[in-house]
Amino acid sequence: MIKNESLYLAGPLVFYVNGGEMWQAWRREALYHGFKVALPNDNVPEAEPGNKRQLSASIFKNCRDSINQTTTIIANLETYRGMVPDGGTVFEVGMAYGKGAKCYGYTKDKRPEGQKYGLAKLDKEGIWDLEGRKLPNFQLPFGPCLVGSSKIIEGSFSDALAVFKADLEEASKLKANRNIEFKVKPAERTLFAKDKPLVYLSTFERYDHDALLKLTVMKEILSRYDFEGISPLEDAPGVERIQSEDLYEVTYNTFDHFQQHVRNCDIILANLNPYHGYEPNDDVSFECGMAFQLGKKLFGYVDDLRPMVELIPNGGEANGCRDVNGMNVEDFENPLNLMFGASFTLFTGAFEDVVKQMADAMLDFKLADDLVPPVL
């Protein structure tokens, strides 16, 4: 009998045809093996009839509360409306990591991004995506945040569950091994604000060929509005930069810098525009979830604030708002998955306009009781 292990099953199954039945089947499988189980849709959401944003906040609260009661997350990392996984799922992985839970993911396609991104252009300078930026992580299945935080299994939920169970068995045996001593260094903040709030620039511009220039300009703009910017390209205090030919060693080290930046900031400012599809960049989504879990102030920006049902082609309400793959498109009056819509204050405009709006919002910052920040 497995004791003291509670699983959170993350993924966009609620949008799949018959996804609810699949979720319940996986719950029964995990219960059979002795685990406690929580799902994102366990509790009936409370909201006034017709109040879609309040409904999304209620669903988000259930996800938050369920994750905070679990010891492990097992996440569906299949590509979703593009090349990256569902942004809401990755947000939940970030939340789980932020609270110290064990993180597992599964996908039937663990090939490197360079193989999965079928529209890449190859020349003497490197591999380029359709936006003209070098294809990042072309040797990895996902960005550094997912690879660094999670054990990723190629296969199904059942495969991931079997690996997790085997890991627990091995960990139990190691407890009795008198020749092994474990010392886990607790995560902590290594940088504190002096005169200005520290703002982490969670943005996929980190992968642009002129990333250093762009992020330097963004930091200069933040400084003009009495913020101090932290770039994902910078070394995080307390994290040594590793030089190695081992791809996964370097990737984990990169992730370690990213996650330390999130711990060190007071505010996260996230570029939540679509990335290689309709979802945000997976590193950005992870950092957003982690920042929420750690109690940071959350601001994001997109080019288009229209609701998802207007941004993502679908068959309309009469047909269940199904997209080209038959998956339901959210209709919560937000431009993004409810995990972002219920926790972030969202802006639009040029970057300096966004920073000015953030500065104005900080003058009277207060997270609403229903967890729905305004869309400005």
Residues 26-79: tens digit of each pLDDT = 999 999 999 999 988 787 677 787 788 888 888 899 999 999 999 999 999 999
Same-domain status, 21 and 126:
yes
Same-domain status, 22 and 168:
yes
Same-domain status, 17 and 69:
yes
Same-domain status, 156 and 215:
no
User: Are the beta carbons of 327 and 12 closer than 8 angstroms?
Assistant: yes
Look at residue 109 and tell me if it is in a domain: yes
| Domain boundary, last residue among 175, 206, 230 | 175
d(CA 44, CA 57): 12
Looking at residue 331, its pLDDT comes to 87
Same-domain status, 219 and 311:
yes
Mean pLDDT of all residues belonging to the chain = 90
User: Does the pTM exceed 0.85?
Assistant: yes
d(CA 240, CA 85): 29
d(CA 52, CA 42): 19
Q: Residues 299-321: what's their mean pLDDT?
A: 92
Look at residue 43 and tell me if it is in a domain: yes
Q: Residues 127-152: what's their mean pLDDT?
A: 89
User: Are the beta carbons of 67 and 100 closer than 8 angstroms?
Assistant: no
Provide the domain count of the chain: 2
When pLDDT is cut at 50, 70 and 90, the band that residue 141 belongs to is very high
Same-domain status, 111 and 232:
no
d(CA 213, CA 68): 39
Q: b/e per residue, 334-364, with b = 16+ CB within 10 A? A: bbbbbbbbbbbbbbbeebeebbbbbeebbee
CA neighbor of 142 nearest in space, from 107, 176, 166, 189:
107
Q: Residues 235-257: what's their mean pLDDT?
A: 96
Cβ-Cβ contacts under 8 Å for 267 (sequence gap 6 or more):
197, 198, 199, 200, 227, 296, 297, 298, 299, 358, 362
Q: Which residue has the higher pLDDT, 175 or 28?
A: 28
d(CA 17, CA 9): 18
Q: Residues 213-240: what's their mean pLDDT?
A: 97
Look at residue 65 and tell me if it is in a domain: yes
d(CA 262, CA 230): 9
Q: Residues 348-354: what's their mean pLDDT?
A: 97
Torsion angle in degrees (nearest 10) through CA of 276, 79, 75, 147:
-60
| CATH number of domain containing 131 | 3.40.50.450
Burial of 51 (0-12, 13-18, 19+ CB in 10 A): middle
Look at residue 259 and tell me if it is in a domain: yes
Strands 121-123, 126-128: pairing kind: antiparallel
Same-domain status, 27 and 60:
yes
Look at residue 368 and tell me if it is in a domain: no
Looking at residue 42, its pLDDT comes to 83
When pLDDT is cut at 50, 70 and 90, the band that residue 374 belongs to is very low
Same-domain status, 126 and 218:
no
Residue 367: is its pLDDT beyond 70?
A: no
Look at residue 142 and tell me if it is in a domain: yes
CA neighbor of 249 nearest in space, from 373, 147, 109:
147
Least trusted range by pLDDT, from 78-92, 341-355, 356-370 = 356-370
When pLDDT is cut at 50, 70 and 90, the band that residue 19 belongs to is confident
Cα torsion 46, 50, 56, 57: sign: negative
Look at residue 191 and tell me if it is in a domain: no
User: Are the beta carbons of 73 and 7 closer than 8 angstroms?
Assistant: yes
Look at residue 19 and tell me if it is in a domain: yes
Same-domain status, 139 and 257:
no
Residue 240: is its pLDDT beyond 50?
A: yes
Q: Which residue has the higher pLDDT, 175 or 196?
A: 196
| Domain boundary, last residue among 175, 208, 236 | 175
Residue 229: is its pLDDT beyond 90?
A: yes
Same-domain status, 62 and 151:
yes
Range of the domain at 266: 198-362
Q: What percent of the chain has pLDDT over 90?
A: 66
Same-domain status, 64 and 163:
yes
Looking at residue 376, its pLDDT comes to 39
Residue 199: is its pLDDT beyond 90?
A: yes
Looking at residue 1, its pLDDT comes to 53
Same-domain status, 230 and 317:
yes
When pLDDT is cut at 50, 70 and 90, the band that residue 128 belongs to is confident
